[in-house]
Each structure stands twice: as C-alpha cells, then as structure tokens.
C-alpha cells in the first residue's frame, strides 16, 4: 500500500471526523436548549445521548489526528490499535448512555406526564435527522473503501443517531398535534426506551469487535480465503507451507507467511518468488502489509531473519 494512498485516505477520514465533531458540538448545544425549555424525558434522554456521542466524536478525531501524524520509530505496527481502543471506549460510552436513558424512561413510564414547550425540540430534531442521515451515508461510503474501527464506530453512532432522532421527533410531534389525547403521554417514555434498544445493541457490538481486534483475533473469512487463493495460485513456486500469522492494527492488516522452498533453488530465485507472492497478496488485500519468510526444513522459522 503506497504512502500517498494512505495519506489520502487519512485526510478524507480526518476531514469527515472533524466536520462530524464540530456539527455534534452545535447539535449538543441546541439539544440542551430544547430540553431545558420542555419537560420531556425523551428530549433529556436525547440530550444525554448527543452529549455522549459528541464526546466520542472528539475522541475519534483525536485518535485519527494522532494516527495520521505518528511515525513508526517507536511502534513497529503503527498506532492502529489506538483506533480499536477508541472503539472500545465508544462501546463503554454507549453502555453508560443506555443506563442513564433507561433509568429516566422507566421513571417517566411509571408516572406519565403531558409534554409542553417542545416546539424548539421538534424543529431541532427535524433538522438533525437530515444531518445524521447525511453523515451516516458519508461514513458508510468511507467504511466500504477502508476497514477502520473508528469509522465503524462512527458509522454505528450515526445510524443510531438517525434512528433516535427520528423516533424522538415522532414522539414529540404527535402529542403536540393532539394535546388532548392522554394515551399519547406514554409516547415520551416509550420513545426513550426504544432508543435504549438501539444503544444497547451498538454497545455490545462495539465492545465485542474491539476486544476481538485488541486480542489479535484471526482475520475475517474473506481475507483468509484471499490468502489461500494466492498461495494456491503460486503452488508451484514453493515446496511447503509452514505457517501463516496475521494481525490487524486499525485499518491495516499484517500477514506473515512462512514457506519452504526446494533446496536446489538459488537465493536470488527464492527472493524473487517471495516477492511475487507478496505482491499478489497485497493486490488481493489492498490494506495488507505482507512478509513472505523463506524457511528451511530442518530449521524452525523463528531462527530465520530474512523476509521479503
């Protein structure tokens, strides 16, 4: 993967997260003002959710900013794990939001009250729904181009934000249109509980995926199949496969392949075949950094230091 391509993707990711962070700060202030003017637990729950998400957006931008400017003098695999750490923090933030919002919603469900002063909140929710939709589509497009824990976290965040703002908008609009319908009093806490479902599911997904990557879990099946396809295509270039090791560091994938070659081949021939396998696999997995390590049949691969 070229340094120019990496820099271009980081610039695009960094620019998107910066815009998202600034937008979230503005929406947090507007959500706080609308909740202050109304007596709606759904609006306060929405404000809590937006505040937590703004904190997560700040952390995501700081992480990508640091990643884009980090060298590898101290970290051989870069700072990609930092993305997974921020993704894990995102899961914890979602979990805290779930507890806070759920507690408020259950209290109001046991004692439903009519809402009033929700005009500003309805207007803000209407506008923020379009904002969330736009950023969700933009982040999903970036995520298809590059696997990144931070982008995955932010995409889930804006997906939930879109669902949450739409549900809260309807829960505020209907009681405002029909103020005498006492049955609609329950929409406020029920809407907040619906938000809890989205938030809880996202928290579990982020925590599970982040821990899996931090513990160097195996690559996805599609990438494992790409490695096996490449080795099968070069089956005549080596004598035996000894081991395959892989790890993910943020948006990058590192693959080490230990191969034994026929003893009659020259050193130059072995290096040339290693280079061909390396280039073929990096073409299959654009985000991969591949090392092909030639090993001897009588020697454990850990004692050999030459890799292509």
Comparing 3-214 with 221-303, is the CATH topology the same? Answer: no
Residue 7 burial class via C-beta count within 10 angstroms: exposed 0-12, middle 13-18, buried 19 and up: exposed
Q: How many residues make up the chain in this entry?
A: 308
pLDDT at 178: 80
For the domain made up of 3-214, the CATH class stated in words is mainly alpha
For the chain, give the mean pLDDT. Answer: 77
Place 70 in a pLDDT band, splitting at 50, 70 and 90. low
Distance CA 120, CA 109 (A): 23
Angle, in degrees to the nearest 10, between helices 119-145 and 149-177: 160
pLDDT at 78: 56
Q: Superfamily for 221-303?
A: Cation efflux protein, cytoplasmic domain (3.30.70.1350)
pLDDT at 300: 46
Provide the percentage of residues in the chain whose pLDDT is more than 70: 81
Contact present, 204 and 91 (Cβ < 8 Å):
yes
- pLDDT per residue over 240-288, tens digit each? 888 888 877 666 788 889 998 888 888 888 888 899 999 988 888 877 8
Give mean pLDDT, residues 37-47. 73
Is the predicted pLDDT of residue 218 greater than 50, yes or no?
A: yes
Is the predicted pLDDT of residue 33 greater than 70, yes or no?
A: yes
- pLDDT per residue over 72-102, tens digit each? 555 555 566 776 777 788 788 778 878 877 8
Residue 111 burial class via C-beta count within 10 angstroms: exposed 0-12, middle 13-18, buried 19 and up: exposed
- pLDDT per residue over 97-127, tens digit each? 788 778 877 877 787 766 667 778 888 888 8
Q: What is the DSSP string of 32-96?
A: HHHHHHS--HHHHHHHHHHHHHHHHHHHHHHHHHHHHT--SSS-TTTTHHHHHHHHHHHHHHHHH
pLDDT at 302: 44
Q: Please count the CA atoms within 13 angstroms of the CA of 206 that sit on its side-chain side.
A: 31
Contact present, 206 and 156 (Cβ < 8 Å):
yes
Give mean pLDDT, residues 289-305. 64
- pLDDT per residue over 163-186, tens digit each? 878 887 887 788 778 877 777 777
Per domain, the residue ranges of the chain are 3-214, 221-303
Is the predicted pLDDT of residue 206 greater than 60, yes or no?
A: yes
Distance CA 161, CA 45 (A): 12
Is the predicted pLDDT of residue 214 greater than 60, yes or no?
A: yes
Provide the percentage of residues in the chain whose pLDDT is more than 90: 1
Radius of gyration of the chain (CA): 25
pLDDT at 68: 62
Q: Which residues share a beta bridge with 255?
A: 246, 290
Is the predicted pLDDT of residue 63 greater than 50, yes or no?
A: yes
């Amino acid at each position: 993967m070229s340094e120019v391509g990496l820099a271009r993707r980081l610039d695009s990711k960094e620019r998107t997260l910066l815009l998202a962070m600034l937008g979230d700060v503005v929406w947090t202030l507007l959500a706080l003002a609308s909740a202050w003017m109304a007596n709606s637990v759904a609006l306060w729950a929405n404000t809590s959710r937006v505040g937590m998400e703004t904190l997560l957006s700040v952390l995501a931008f700081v992480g990508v900013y640091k990643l884009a400017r980090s060298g590898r003098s101290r970290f051989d695999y870069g700072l990609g794990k930092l993305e997974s750490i921020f993704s894990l923090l995102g899961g914890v933030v979602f979990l805290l939001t779930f507890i806070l919002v759920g507690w408020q919603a259950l209290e109001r469900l046991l004692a439903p009250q009519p809402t009033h002063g929700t005009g500003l909140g309805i207007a803000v929710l209407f506008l923020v729904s379009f904002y969330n939709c736009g950023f969700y589509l933009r982040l999903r497009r970036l995520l298809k181009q590059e696997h990144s824990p931070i982008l995955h976290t932010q995409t889930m965040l804006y997906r939930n934000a879109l669902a949450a703002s739409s549900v809260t908008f309807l829960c505020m609009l209907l009681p405002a249109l029909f103020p005498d319908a006492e049955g609609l009093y329950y929409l406020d806490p029920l809407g907040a509980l619906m938000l809890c479902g989205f938030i809880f599911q996202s928290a579990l997904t982020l925590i599970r995926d982040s821990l899996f990557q931090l513990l160097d879990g195996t690559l996805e099946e599609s990438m494992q199949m790409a490695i096996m396809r490449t080795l099968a295509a070069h089956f005549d270039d080596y004598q035996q496969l000894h081991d395959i090791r892989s790890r993910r560091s943020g948006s990058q994938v590192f693959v080490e392949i230990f191969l034994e070659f026929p003893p009659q081949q020259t050193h130059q021939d072995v290096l040339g075949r290693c280079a061909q396998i390396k280039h073929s696999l990096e073409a299959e997995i654009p985000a991969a950094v591949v090392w092909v390590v030639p090993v001897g049949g009588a020697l454990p691969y850990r004692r050999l230091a030459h890799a292509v």
